[in-house]
Structure 1
Amino acid sequence: MSGNKSTGRVAVITGASSGIGAATARALAADGYLVALLARRLDRIEAIASEIGNGSIAIQADVTDRDQLVAAARRVQDELGGADVLVNNAGVMLLGPFSAARSEDYRRMVEANLLGAITTTEVFLDQLTGGDGGDLINISSVAGRSARAGNGVYAATKWGINGWSESLRQELLPGVRVTLIEPGVVDTELPSHITDTATREAVQKSYDVAAVKPEEVAEIIAFVLSRPRHLAINEVLIRPADQLG
Structure 2
Amino acid sequence: MANTLEGTVALVTGASSGIGRASALALAAEGARVAVVARRKDRLEELVAAIEAAGGEALAIEADLGVEQDAVGAVARTVEHFGRLDTVLNNAGLMLLGPTATASTADWRRMVDVNVMGLLYCAHAALPHLLAAAEDGARRVADLVNVSSIGGRTTRPGSQVYNATKWGVVGLSESMRQELAGRHVRVSVVEPGAVRTELAEANRPEIRAQILGRQEGVEVLDPQDVAEAIVFLVTRPRHVNINEIMVRPTEIA
Regarding TM over 0.5, the answer is yes
**Are the aligned partners of 2:35 and 2:78 in contact in 1 as well (CA < 8 Å)?**
yes
Residue 185 of structure 1 aligns with an amino acid whose one-letter code is A
Which of 167, 171, 192 aligns to 1:183? It is 192
Which of 198, 203, 206 aligns to 1:198? It is 206
1:156 aligns with 2:164: yes
| Separation in structure 2 between the aligned mates of residue 170 and residue 144 of structure 1, nearest angstrom | 19
Secondary structure of 1:177 counterpart: strand
Q: Describe the superposition over 1:191-240 as per-residue Cα deviations: whole angstroms up to 9, x where unpaired.
A: 11113x32211102233433100001001111111110101110001110
Alignment correspondent of 1:104: 106
Alignment correspondent of 2:19: 20
Matches within 5 A, 1:45-194: 45-53=44-52, 54-132=56-134, 133-174=141-182, 175-194=184-203
Secondary structure of 1:131 counterpart: helix
| Separation in structure 2 between the aligned mates of residue 101 and residue 73 of structure 1, nearest angstrom | 33
Structure 1 residue runs of 5 or longer lacking an equivalent are none
CA RMSD of aligned residues (A): 1.4
| Separation in structure 2 between the aligned mates of residue 235 and residue 184 of structure 1, nearest angstrom | 14
Residue 24 of structure 1 aligns with an amino acid whose one-letter code is S
Residue 187 of structure 2 aligns with an amino acid whose one-letter code is V
- Normalising to structure 1: TM-score of the pair? 0.95
Structure 2 residue runs of 5 or longer lacking an equivalent are 135-140
**Are the aligned partners of 2:40 and 2:62 in contact in 1 as well (CA < 8 Å)?**
yes
Residue 81 of structure 2 aligns with an amino acid whose one-letter code is E
| Separation in structure 1 between the aligned mates of residue 210 and residue 35 of structure 2, nearest angstrom | 35
Moved more, 125-134 or 175-184: 125-134
Alignment correspondent of 2:233: 224
- Normalising to structure 2: TM-score of the pair? 0.92
| Separation in structure 1 between the aligned mates of residue 179 and residue 227 of structure 2, nearest angstrom | 26
